[in-house]
């Protein structure tokens, strides 16, 4: 059987795109639509009785669910701190490891390795470090930093989560920034040096504007990861002490699967999705406007 050009194109699309589209529909699209529908219902997630309640779940969130807004405020503070620190540290590591260092490839691998470890495992490892390791070092050295109640106090638990998050993804961001720095034409930097520019002027006037596309990608990734932090938060603090480090993702998980209020949980998830979509879209829009070509 002979196919025309359009027929061959259709067959190629079905062969190469069709399986991916089917899996995307089954795993992402259909559950997303079902979640939107369930957000307007009262369902415990188990029984076959689903009661349509309209906007009651959303009204309850905005009128009487104080813990959701406490979790949201924690997530905002965590996101701001984690995004800023992880990008700054990732960029500094990239600057250092694009220089003439003999062991730079080995160092890049070492800094990237934490990203390979799963969030749950990483959380349990750092929980042991904070609870057992740091106090032992504090007793041996007398340094107050290691004697802090890292997971027992709201403020130190917050920064403990930030430290572990930055430690995990800093190396991943470093790889992206390294690729961007290596893509800069050396002749541009050499011309700036000949014209008398110092290191700080080259960094802020030349390098930073040229790696804005990498900042766009890294800010997008870190914003979405920090907003949706779950496994690391669950393993390290489980929202404690007394719910002070409970992220929105954990709040949604507890609402749907522990308290068996699946309709209310999906309503929270839908609101959370809209907020993340708006924030990341705005971030990409504004950073794209600052990108330069050379």
Comparing 149 with 81, the larger pLDDT belongs to: 81
Mean residue pLDDT of the chain comes to: 88
Residue 257 DSSP label: I
pLDDT of residue 3: 52
The residues near 251 (Cβ < 8 Å, ≥ 6 apart) are 67, 68, 71, 239, 268
Q: What DSSP designation does 260 have?
A: -
- Position 142 in a domain: yes
Pairwise pLDDT comparison (231 vs 1), residue with the higher score: 231
On whether residue 22 sits in a domain, the answer given is: no
> Containing domain of residue 124, as a range?
65-289
Question: What pLDDT score was predicted for residue 1?
Answer: 46
User: Does any domain span residue 2?
Assistant: no
Per the CB < 8 A criterion, the answer to whether 101 and 187 are in contact is: no
| Band of residue 169 on the pLDDT scale cut at 50, 70, 90 | very high
Structure tokens at 202: 């080259």
Q: Which residues are CB-neighbours of 147 under 8 A, at least 6 positions away?
A: 134, 135, 138, 139
Name the least confident of 3-7, 203-207, 272-276: 3-7
CATH number for the domain harbouring residue 279 = 1.10.3720.10
- pLDDT bin (cut points 50, 70, 90) of residue 11 is confident
CA 236 vs CA 107, 113, 115, 150: distances in Å: 27, 19, 16, 11
DSSP 8-state secondary structure symbol assigned to residue 29: I
**Separation between Cα atoms, residue 212 and residue 180, nearest integer Å:** 9
| Number of residues that this document lists for the chain | 294
Q: Check pLDDT > 60 for residue 121.
A: yes
Question: Do the Cβ atoms of 78 and 161 come closer than 8 Å?
Answer: yes
Label residue 282 exposed, middle or buried (CB < 10 Å: 0-12, 13-18, 19+): exposed
Mean pLDDT on 31-39: 89
Confidence of residue 191 (pLDDT cuts 50, 70, 90): confident
Is 56 a member of any domain? no
Specify the pLDDT at position 4: 56
pLDDT at 152 over 50: yes
Query: pLDDT per residue over 230-240, tens digit each?
Result: 989 998 988 88
Kindly report the CA angle at 46 between 43 and 51, in degrees rounded to 5? 25
Does residue 32 sit within a domain?
Answer: no
Confidence of residue 2 (pLDDT cuts 50, 70, 90): low
Whole-number percent of the chain with pLDDT over 70: 97
Distance CA 247, CA 74 (A): 6
- What would the mean pLDDT of 198-212 be, rounded to a whole number? 86
Q: What is the mean pLDDT of residues 183-203?
A: 84
In a domain, 80, yes or no: yes
Beta-strand pair 51-52/41-42: antiparallel
Answer whether residue 45 is part of any domain: no
Number of domains in the chain: 1
Q: Which sign, positive or negative, has the C-alpha torsion 211, 283, 251, 65?
A: positive
DSSP H or E segment with residue 41? strand 41-42
Residues 6+ apart with CB under 8 A from 283: 216, 219, 220, 223
Cα–Cα distance for residue pair 168/158, rounded to 1 Å: 16
- Whether residue 248 lies inside any domain: the answer is yes
Q: Look at 45-54, 107-116, 216-225, 256-265 and tell me which has the smallest mean pLDDT.
A: 45-54
């Amino acid at each position: 059987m002979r196919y025309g050009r359009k027929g061959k194109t259709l067959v190629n699309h079905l062969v190469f795109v069709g399986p991916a589209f089917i899996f995307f529909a089954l795993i992402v699209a259909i559950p997303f639509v079902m979640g939107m529908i369930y957000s307007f219902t009262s369902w415990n997630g188990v029984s076959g009785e689903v009661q349509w309640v309209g906007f009651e779940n959303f009204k309850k969130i905005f009128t009487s669910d104080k813990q959701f807004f406490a979790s949201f405020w924690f997530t905002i503070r965590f996101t701001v701190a984690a995004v800023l620190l992880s990008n700054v540290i990732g960029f500094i590591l990239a600057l250092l490891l694009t220089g003439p260092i003999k062991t730079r490839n080995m160092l890049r691998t070492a800094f990237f390795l934490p990203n390979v470890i799963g969030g749950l495992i990483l959380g349990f490892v750092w929980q042991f470090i904070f609870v057992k390791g740091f106090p032992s070092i504090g007793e041996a050295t007398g340094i107050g930093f290691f004697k802090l109640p890292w997971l027992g106090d709201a403020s130190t638990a917050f920064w403990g989560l930030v430290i572990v998050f930055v430690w995990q993804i800093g190396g991943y961001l470093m790889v992206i920034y390294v690729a961007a720095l290596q893509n800069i034409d050396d002749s541009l930097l050499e011309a700036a040096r000949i014209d008398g520019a110092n290191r700080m002027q080259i960094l802020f006037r030349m390098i930073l504007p040229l790696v804005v596309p990498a900042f766009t990608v890294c800010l997008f990734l870190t914003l979405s990861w920090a907003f949706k932090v779950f496994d690391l938060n669950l393993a390290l603090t489980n929202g404690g002490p007394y719910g002070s480090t409970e992220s929105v993702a954990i709040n949604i998980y507890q609402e749907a699967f522990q308290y068996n209020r699946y309709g209310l949980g999906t309503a929270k998830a839908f609101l959370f999705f809209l907020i993340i979509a708006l924030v990341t879209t705005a971030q990409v829009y504004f950073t794209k406007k600052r990108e330069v070509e050379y």
